[in-house]
Structure 1
Amino acid sequence: MTTTTSGTSGTSTTTLEELERRATARRDRPSYGHDALIACDRLVRIFTTDGVEVQALQGLDLLVTEGELMALVGASGSGKSTLMNILAGLDVPTAGAAKVAGCDLLAMDGKARLRYRREVVGFVWQQTARNLLPYLTAAQNVALPMQLKDGRKGGTRQKARRAEELLAMLGMSEHADRRPHQMSGGQQQRVAIAVALANNPSVLLADEPTGELDSATGEQVFAAFRRANEELGTTIVIVTHDQAVASEVRRTVAIRDGRTSSEVLRRTEVDETGQESLVAREYAMLDRAGRLQLPAEYTEALEMRHRVALELEQDHIGVWPDDKG
């Protein structure tokens, strides 16, 4: 038995045996995101306001491997903050799948979600006032998450030592006994990073952590994130509008209209003279449904609207404007 199909690239004939072989291969394929620390699969989040539905996430796919330091960028309303709130356990997706360090974010009850926020993820807010309690010193702020996790049971000396180590790693030892109002904004953010790392989370999330800082101070805060990533191996995801921060990470993912739209990967290359240079390349993202977001400047330049013609070549796919003739 054979099956005949036709399309933009011509006509092909497929045998029943070939279809069975393909089906078997799909069944034996590892599940999507099986080796990723963060896996978002066709993630949907719909908000309803005054009877009007708004789709903040529209089938978003994202994979983050363990140990990555990456940035999420996107215009206001693109869905990046909604995604961060879901990953932080502060919001629940409407549909799709999302897992972080083996935790199913759609299946957790209230108790499991609280434990998740205390033990699996750390979070740094843009507003420094949201990260630290004003009446506690830096060292006390760092020790507090450990006390909450353990129910304030013993181990005071170990908690104090852990707080000292984190503050020292981030260059804040001399400010350990100061309260937030006695520190600058950049110093507060570095203490906030130590607070987020207190319980040794699998993932550290940061929402515009340099948004209220000048460029020089922002560089110091980002250096603290890099040190945490390199010395502790913590996976870090930063939402940012700051292009200086985005260009400092090896991977930057752009979100547009509730989906991942493009990705920039950076790598270091060494030429024949031994000179090192950072090379960046941008890729368009292909989601699990095979959808591709073409850059607006490309489609406008070729007057692509409503539909395009596709042609399968040996090593690429051609995308052509609709033949109006």
Structure 2
Amino acid sequence: MTTPSDHGQDASAAAGTGAPAGPASLAELERRAAARRRRPAYGHDALIACDRLVRVFTADGVEVQALQGLDLLVAEGELMALVGASGSGKSTLMNILAGLDVPTAGAAKVAGRDLLTMDAGARLGYRREVVGFVWQQTARNLLPYLTTLQNVTLPMQLSGGRRRAARTKAAERLLSMLSLDHCRDRRPHQLSGGEQQRTAIAVALANSPSVLLADEPTGELDSHTAEQVFTAFRTANEELGTTIVIVTHDQAVASEVRRTVAIRDGRTSSEVLRRTERDAATGRESLVAREYAMLDRTGRLQLPAEYTGSLGMEHRVLLELESDHIGVWPDRPADEGRAEEGSGDGPEDEAGQAPEPGDARTGMPGTADGADA
């Protein structure tokens, strides 16, 4: 019977790392330092880059950590969703990205703008030019005494630089793209819930922002209307190339995007990537979704609660480095381990082989991918 320790030693030997390495020479240390300096900065090619982001709120002398070292990268042109339980930190993150709140520590950049160092004037310009925001409550998105067209042209007027005719033409183009031509001269109370939210999207797009943020935009809508609103987001993403981040509890919306990031306890915990695959034999296309655990910049990994609970994992786990993945084992007392060794029940499967990456007993979906990340 091979124990986890023996198995790890064999793997290390096979990988050529069985013998302890000697101290590095000064030349080697200098080479490593130079390589680190040449390495591109974290998130250098991302439109949104959050690096070890922290947000602490203080009330009555009590500190609450809403974000606890969150890492997130969003590429230009992405349409993605953020999900998480109430209190997970996703709304705090959205407020920071929208320029409505300031992080306590860490780094956050959007379209090259540093959200920690901006003064009040730069923050106002950021909200007008770089980012658009759609709230769940329509009353926060639209002015009730203005028509649909006037609501859309107002952000352009506040930013200046366009004549009235140009503002009207640009607003009409947005309304047409979102199938709102018939609502041009109506006020918000004359619109349906779906029409109000699509008008809000047009308002958020008025100044051609790099990023469009939406906080539960379908939370107060029925499923059919929610689908129409999401179609408007997809149209804006495809036709304008706008990067869109949607916070949602609606699984129907989350499953419609290529990437869904889950936030738990103030950190990104998992990510679902979806892609279309074509069957070589039949030519049929199917949507394939795969869930990954997120590995942050400090090497922290949140294991799914249902995995750790099923294996009784608490406080600490045993890690074994294999040639192509990391094994994660429950921590058991030595006498229990000896009993299991005698019974033939251990980290090997029934065939005497180490579990493959993604084996449920490792408590880590796709561990090879997680390690590579």
When normalised by structure 1's length, the TM-score is 0.95
Whether 1:26 aligns to 2:26 is no
Which structure's CA Rg is the greater one?
2
Going from structure 1 to structure 2, the CA distance change for 1:181 and 1:117 (only over 3 Å counts) comes to same
Q: 2:122 aligns with which of 79, 88, 112?
A: 112
2-structure distance, mates of 1:136, 1:251: 36
Q: Once the 2 structures are TM-superposed, how far is the Cα of residue 260 of structure 1 from its aligned partner? A: 0.1
* 1:308-323 correspondence to structure 2 within 5 Å: 308-323=317-332
Q: Deviations over 1:126-145 (max 9, x none)?
A: 00111000000000000000
Q: Once the 2 structures are TM-superposed, how far is the Cα of residue 11 of structure 1 from its aligned partner? A: 6.0
Which residue identity is paired with 2:295?
Answer: L
Matched-pair identity in %:
80
2-structure distance, mates of 1:226, 1:207: 16
Q: Deviations over 1:38-82 (max 9, x none)?
A: 000000000001110000000000000000000000000000000
The corresponding residue for 1:281 is 290
Q: 2:274 aligns with which of 263, 266, 270?
A: 266
The corresponding residue for 2:204 is 196
The corresponding residue for 1:241 is 249
Q: Once the 2 structures are TM-superposed, how far is the Cα of residue 316 of structure 1 from its aligned partner? A: 0.5
Q: Once the 2 structures are TM-superposed, how far is the Cα of residue 300 of structure 1 from its aligned partner? A: 1.3
Whether 1:297 aligns to 2:297 is no
Q: Once the 2 structures are TM-superposed, how far is the Cα of residue 154 of structure 1 from its aligned partner? A: 5.7
Q: Once the 2 structures are TM-superposed, how far is the Cα of residue 251 of structure 1 from its aligned partner? A: 0.1
Q: Once the 2 structures are TM-superposed, how far is the Cα of residue 88 of structure 1 from its aligned partner? A: 0.1
**Number of residue pairs the alignment of both structures matches:** 317
Q: 1:128 aligns with which of 113, 135, 138?
A: 138
Going from structure 1 to structure 2, the CA distance change for 1:19 and 1:316 (only over 3 Å counts) comes to farther
Gaps of 5+ in 1: 1-6
Q: Once the 2 structures are TM-superposed, how far is the Cα of residue 302 of structure 1 from its aligned partner? A: 1.4
* 1:140-289 correspondence to structure 2 within 5 Å: 140-150=150-160, 155-272=163-280, 273-289=282-298
Partner secondary structure for residue 13 of structure 1 = coil
Which residue identity is paired with 1:311?
Answer: E
Q: 1:54 aligns with which of 64, 86, 97?
A: 64
Partner secondary structure for residue 12 of structure 1 = coil
Contact 2:49–2:72, Cα closer than 8 Å, also in 1: yes
Q: Aligned-pair RMSD on alpha carbons?
A: 1.4
The structure with the largest strand share of the pair is 1
Gaps of 5+ in 2: 1-7, 13-17, 335-373
In terms of mean alpha carbon deviation, does 294-303 or 174-183 score higher? 294-303
Q: 1:12 aligns with which of 3, 17, 20?
A: 20
Q: Deviations over 1:14-34 (max 9, x none)?
A: 432544433332221100000
Whether 1:68 aligns to 2:78 is yes
Q: Deviations over 1:65-109 (max 9, x none)?
A: 000000000000000000000000000000000000000000000
Contact 2:156–2:162, Cα closer than 8 Å, also in 1: no
Contact 2:276–2:286, Cα closer than 8 Å, also in 1: yes
When normalised by structure 2's length, the TM-score is 0.83
